[in-house]
């Protein structure tokens, strides 16, 4: 049996055609195996985080349901970023596309490649707003264990 978990994915872009990069990310997320998009927040513009001067970000939260494990899901997100010109340079630097796993069901994970929930969640009020928005828009989760 393949258990499906709800995953909050934060999309961000502050280089090039930001709207187009977010659109490509939404399309790619919808095509991931064993994954269904449940809801999308509105896109909002935010100030960049960190010490590096750069342009404002467009951000959006997507709620998906997936049967993929977190490590595989992260690898596929990195592939989407790479296909959209993401260069992994300096931390907090500008990027064409940034895809972050914010929450993955009720899991807590701390390894060298992935931390769930995302450690910056308490510091990013827009993520919290966007998560609240998709929670309202998404179909209610059905508990099949009853």
100 annotated active-site: yes
Question: Does residue 80 surpass a pLDDT of 80?
Answer: yes
Section 106-126 average pLDDT: 91
pLDDT at 33: 97
The one catalytic residue among 4, 26, 72, 100: 100
Question: Does residue 144 surpass a pLDDT of 60?
Answer: no
98 annotated active-site: yes
CB 138 within 8 A of CB 39: yes
Fold type of domain 5-137: Alpha-Beta Plaits (3.30.70)
Q: Which of 96, 84, 32 is nearest to 62 (CA)?
A: 32
Question: Does residue 42 surpass a pLDDT of 80?
Answer: yes
The mean predicted confidence, pLDDT, of the chain is 91
Spatial neighbors of 126 by CB under 8 A, at least 6 apart, are 44, 46, 59
Question: Does residue 51 surpass a pLDDT of 90?
Answer: no
- Longest CA pairwise span in the chain (Å): 52
Tokens of 75: 């690898």
132 annotated active-site: no
Section 122-139 average pLDDT: 95
Domain range annotation of the chain: 5-137
Q: Residue 143: pLDDT band by 50, 70, 90 thresholds?
A: low
Question: Does residue 145 surpass a pLDDT of 50?
Answer: no
Question: Does residue 92 surpass a pLDDT of 80?
Answer: no
Q: Three-state SS for 38?
A: strand
Section 12-31 average pLDDT: 97
Question: Does residue 39 surpass a pLDDT of 60?
Answer: yes
The one catalytic residue among 18, 95, 103, 124: 95
86 annotated active-site: yes
Burial of 105 (0-12, 13-18, 19+ CB in 10 A): middle
The one catalytic residue among 6, 98, 103, 124: 98
Higher-confidence residue of 145 and 54: namely 54
């Amino acid at each position: 049996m393949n258990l499906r978990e709800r995953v909050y994915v934060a999309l961000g872009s502050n280089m090039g055609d930001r709207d187009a990069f977010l659109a490509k990310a939404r399309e790619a997320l919808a095509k991931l195996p064993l994954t269904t998009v449940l809801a999308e927040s509105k896109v909002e513009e935010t100030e960049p985080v960190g010490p590096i001067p750069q342009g404002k970000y467009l951000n959006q939260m997507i709620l998906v349901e997936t049967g993929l494990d977190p490590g595989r899901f992260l690898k596929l997100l990195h592939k989407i970023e790479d296909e959209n010109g993401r260069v992994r340079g300096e931390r907090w630097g500008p990027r064409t596309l940034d895809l972050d796993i914010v929450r993955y069901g009720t899991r807590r994970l701390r390894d060298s490649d992935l931390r769930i929930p995302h450690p910056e969640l308490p510091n990013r009020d827009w993520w919290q707003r966007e998560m609240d928005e998709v929670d309202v828009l998404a179909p209610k989760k059905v508990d099949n264990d009853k």
